[in-house]
Chains A and B, each alone.
Chain A
Amino acid sequence: MNRETSLPPQFNVGQRVLVDDRKSVGHCRTPAFVRGRVGVIAEVLGAFRNPEKLAYHRPGLPAQVLYAVRFRQHELWPAYEGTKTDELDIDIYANWLTPAAAI
């Protein structure tokens, strides 16, 4: 991580994570359609100032680690007509993620 003030990464590539199903309070970057869903860490993107604080003119520190989390399209959309292997990567900050049980 390139920022001295950042938290260390908590998740590794390939790890299963659960997106928190909480309601947003103020600005946040986690779309509703992935909340409560399980995905896999596809990439550790680095640490960035927390947008939930920057939105209110706060410094946004400590920086939050941002992950690309990979979801199966057919698990997100009940009526999905593509193949079973279609995937979607969503960038999600660490404060929305907890470890999910391995399959």
Chain B
Amino acid sequence: MPTPGKHNEIREGTGGRTVHDIGGLDFGAIDMSEHDLALWEKRVDAMIVLLNARKKVFRTDAMRRVIESYGEQQYDATDYYEKWVRALRNLVLEQELVTREELEEKLVEAVETFKSEGREVASETVPWDDIGNREEASR
């Protein structure tokens, strides 16, 4: 099992704060508006509840650790459930629930299904080496 290493991504110009630790920094007004969740967001939520609370595959703290290890650019460019789904991807590999090959195979399958149904597919995929788990990335 790849042991996750301790690593801190530092936010530039903050005197050494980690990337997520932005309390008190000037990021403008907080968007307090409510929005309906998309189906994929609900599914991510359901997977988190299953793997975290029910199956104890990982703790919430482990998800936070993965999210906090995104680089500043990735951290700021992704929204709430994007961060969670990417952390899920890392953690199911880290805890050896599935292999990377199995996961990649499924992703290819999903893209093909989407295309055949005429649904939108993102032109870019999130690179494996910038989602936090350096040990996994360097293998």
Contacts and interface: CB of A to CB of B under 8 A. Distances in A.
B61 A23 contact: no
A31 B3 CA distance: 26
A27 B21 contact: no
Contacts of B61: 27, 51-52, 54-55
Given A56-B62, A57-B62, A57-B95, A23 B23 contact: no
B65 A33 contact: no
B23 A54 contact: no
Contacts of A25: 6, 8
Interface of chain A, main secondary structure: loop
Interface residues of B, number: 21
A33 B24 contact: yes
A32 B62 contact: no
A5 to B, nearest CB: 17
Contacts of A26: 6-8, 65
B59 interface: yes
Nearest to B64: A27
A51 to B, nearest CB: 4
B135 to A, nearest CB: 12
B8 A32 contact: no
B6 A56 contact: yes
Interface in B2-39: 3-4, 6-8, 14, 16-18, 21, 23-24
Given A56-B4, A57-B58, A27 B65 contact: yes
Instruction: Pick from B7, B58, B62 the residue with the most CB of A within 10 Å.
Output: B62
A54 B8 contact: no
Nearest to B24: A33
B18 A24 contact: yes
Contacts of A54: 59, 61-62
Given A52-B61, A57-B95, 11 more contacts: A24-B18, A25-B8, A27-B68, A31-B23, A32-B21, A51-B59, A51-B61, A57-B58, A57-B59, A57-B62, A76-B24
Interface of A: 23-27, 31-33, 51-52, 54-57, 76-77
A-B pairs with lowest CB-CB distance, top 5 = A26-B6, A55-B65, A27-B65, A55-B61, A54-B61
